Amino acid sequence: MRKGLAFTGLMVLAGAAWAGDAVVVVRGSAGLPEYGERFEEEAALWAEAARTAEARWQEVPPTPEQGKAVAAALQQAIEAKPERLWVLLCGHGTFDGREARFNVEGPDFTPKDLQQWLRSWQGPLVLVHTGSASQPFAKALAGPERVCVTATKSGSEVFSTRFGLPFARAMGGELKADLDQDGQVSVLEAFLDAAAEVRDFYQSEERLATEHALLDDDGDGVGTRSERFDGVDLREKPGQGTTAVGDGARARRVVLVRSAEERQLTPEQRARRDELEMALEDLKKQRDSLDAAGFEKRARAILLELARMYEQAEAAAAAPKGTGQAPR
């Protein structure tokens, strides 16, 4: 059993700018010992993934007045100015028909509380709530540059969930979750892999599934279930035109444990690469409405910029240490 007065951390540099990602895990109130062991295992998997990723890591374990400790940990992470902020809620949730809550020691906190604690963070955010009644948190926190993953499709799915452990394992780089074989596991791939594992469990046990995971990364707060994907590609959403990118386009490019090739890119290059790849996906959706020459011209411009970027990153990585050679 790990102990801590307020929160525990690895690689915590309070008050200093952090070049990589920041990961804050909130380990909720367990209720029963079996759930406590599960939440500890889930948090440990995230700790190992953060360590491998060389990310700033904080865990907020169950302690009296845990909500205040969560607010303090988030503020510390925000002040470190990371490249991306990850907020992971491992525990139980409740829903009274009007408001969802995440169960902690002391007063439980709501989506509005989490919104308030994150109000000063304007950068990229990944919010993962792997507990019951989790969807209202994604609905409240969704927005531009935000990826939200929940274990349930609504607040009404209030039974204990199984989604958290397979999702954490996948985010640590589990090979079977790497659907596009690029040497790393994205949030989208982890979501699809974990949802499939949960679905297989209920089918093998011949039980009615009481949880259906959702992913939202287009900012509308609605979310999409795993069944709407073919591999890592989203089938057209009901009621949307063919130009809609929809959920999955951003999450597909967000990883915690990066491949060797990914680590060659600077944060600025990664951000630009993501913009270009999402623009290319959007362009593909518009293909039928464009003439062939226009489509080819726009696609070529994007692909050439991507190629130049990777060439620059490879040249910088190959340069002898201490030469001061900058990317061209």
Q: What is the mean pLDDT of the chain?
A: 88
Of the candidates 96, 6, 2, the one whose C-alpha atom is nearest the C-alpha of residue 43 is 2
State the DSSP H helix or E strand holding residue 72, giving kind and residue range, or none if neither: helix 66-79
Residues 72, 76: Cα–Cα separation, whole Å: 6
Say which residues have a Cβ less than 8 Å from residue 216's Cβ, sequence separation at least 6.
138, 139, 142, 146, 147, 148, 222, 223, 224, 247
pLDDT tier for residue 221 given thresholds of 50, 70 and 90: very high
- Express each pLDDT in 95-122 by its tens digit: 999 999 999 999 999 999 999 999 999 9
Instruction: State percent of the chain over pLDDT 90.
Output: 68
Report, in this order, helix, strand and coil percent for the chain, each rounded to 5. Answer: 40, 15, 45
Of the candidates 56, 6, 66, 62, the one whose C-alpha atom is nearest the C-alpha of residue 37 is 62
Strand order in the sheet with 125-129: 8-10, 56-60, 22-27, 85-90, 125-129, 146-150, 214-216, 224-225
Q: State residue 296's pLDDT score.
A: 87
pLDDT tier for residue 257 given thresholds of 50, 70 and 90: very high
The predicted model scores a pTM of: 0.83
Q: Classify 313 as helix, strand or coil.
A: helix
Q: State residue 239's pLDDT score.
A: 53
The token pair that represents 106 in the structure block: 């002391």
Mean pLDDT, range 1-25, rounded to an integer: 56
In this structure, which CATH number among 3.40.50.1460, 3.20.20.30, 3.10.580.10, 3.30.9.40 belongs to the domain 8-258?
A: 3.40.50.1460
Mean pLDDT, range 208-212, rounded to an integer: 97
- Express each pLDDT in 85-96 by its tens digit: 999 999 999 999
C-beta of residue 216 within 8 angstroms of C-beta of residue 237: no
Residues 61, 44: Cα–Cα separation, whole Å: 12
Q: Where are the domains of the chain?
A: 8-258, 264-321
Q: Classify 64 as helix, strand or coil.
A: coil
